[in-house]
Structure formats: structure tokens, C-alpha cells
């Protein structure tokens, strides 16, 4: 038994570079496999839009304020709940409904499609919500994760650059 173990350890030592290469290969394949297949979990599904306090007063003063874009793009499984918050002191027609001061309205979407709502907050009277399907397992999900990773790294790099610039 002891001899067998010793032989095994010896063979590992003899071929350590092979093992290392194999482990790196496994890690890379495993990483890509995970990125392509693992379900996407997000902390929140909410896509938040807030009417800031004072919006009504600013509008009354003649200021043109666009809070909601004409077209909102959501993705199933990621940000598929449109969350509208009214932080102003008066009711607002916001997207598909009237929202009272301090109230929020969360609208979940379960099907990929294009939704149109009458919305008096927009000049053309319409709000479009385009809901895209969730990134499918495989290349699509892998691409999404790589894009997320790139965005995160790019964001961190920019933040670092700005902090250095601010310090100097």
C-alpha cells in the first residue's frame, strides 16, 4: 500500500509539468464551460427609473425633463422588471400608469416581445419596452459573460484612472 502510494507520488513528481499543463487546461475548459452553461444569477431584476424630487416644479418653470427614454430595453432573466419610482411631491403619469408621490410601480415581464404603452410623459404619447430573450446556454451566454467581464474590467480601469488623475 505504502509502496503503491510512493510510486504514485513519484510518477506525479516525474510528470509534474504535464500535470500542471493538464490542470491549467482543465481550468480554462472548466471556466469557459461554466461561463457558457451556468445559469445567470443577478442580485436584482429591477430596471429602475426614478422621478426625482422637484421634477414637477422644474417642469412648471419651463424646463424640459425626460426621465423615461422612448424605448426601454430589458432582458429576460436579467433586468426584466421595470421599476418606476415617484420621488416627487405630486402624482406623475409615468410609463403605463399614474404613480402617486412616494409610490413605486414594478412591472414584471415574462415574455420576450415589444410592448407599447400610451404615456403622456412622452411627446409622441408612447413608451416602448423591448424585452429580449435571456442569453441562451452556449455561445450566447458565454458572449454575455465575456461582455460583462469586459465592462467590469473597463469600469474598474476607468475608476482607477480617474482616482489617479484626481490624486495628481
Complete edge-to-edge strand list for the sheet that includes strand 71-75: 71-75, 126-132, 113-118
User: Whose grid coordinates read 424646463?
Assistant: 63
Q: State yes or no: residue 106 binds another protein (CB under 8 A).
A: yes
Site string for another protein, 28-67 (x = CB under 8 A): -xx--xx--xxx-----x----------------------
Q: How many CB atoms lie within 10 A of CB 57?
A: 12
Q: Taking contact as CB under 8 A, which single stretch among the options 24-32, 47-55, 64-72, 155-163 is the one that binds another protein? A: 24-32
- DSSP characters for 77-114? TTB-EEEEEE-SSS-EEETTEEE-TT-EEEEE--S-EE
Q: State yes or no: residue 69 binds another protein (CB under 8 A).
A: no
Question: Which residue ranges make up the site for another protein (CB under 8 A)?
Answer: 22, 26, 29-30, 33-34, 37-39, 45, 77, 82, 91, 93, 96-100, 102-108, 110, 115, 117-118, 120, 125, 137
Amino acid at each position: 500500500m505504502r509502496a503503491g502510494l510512493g510510486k504514485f507520488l513519484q510518477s506525479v513528481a516525474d510528470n509534474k509539468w504535464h500535470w500542471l499543463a493538464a490542470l491549467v487546461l482543465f481550468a480554462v475548459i472548466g471556466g469557459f464551460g461554466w461561463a457558457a452553461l451556468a445559469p445567470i444569477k443577478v442580485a436584482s431584476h429591477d430596471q429602475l427609473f426614478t422621478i426625482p424630487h422637484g421634477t414637477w416644479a422644474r417642469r412648471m418653470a419651463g424646463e424640459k425633463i425626460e426621465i423615461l427614454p422612448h424605448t426601454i430595453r430589458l432582458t429576460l432573466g436579467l433586468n426584466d422588471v421595470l421599476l418606476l419610482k415617484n420621488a416627487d411631491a405630486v402624482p406623475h403619469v409615468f410609463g403605463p400608469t399614474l404613480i402617486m408621490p412616494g409610490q413605486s410601480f414594478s412591472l414584471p415581464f415574462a415574455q420576450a416581445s415589444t410592448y407599447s404603452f400610451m404615456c403622456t410623459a412622452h411627446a409622441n404619447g408612447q413608451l416602448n419596452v423591448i424585452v429580449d430573450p435571456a442569453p441562451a446556454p452556449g455561445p450566447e451566454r458565454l458572449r454575455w459573460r465575456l461582455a460583462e467581464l469586459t465592462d467590469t474590467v473597463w469600469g474598474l480601469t476607468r475608476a482607477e484612472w480617474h482616482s489617479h488623475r484626481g490624486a495628481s
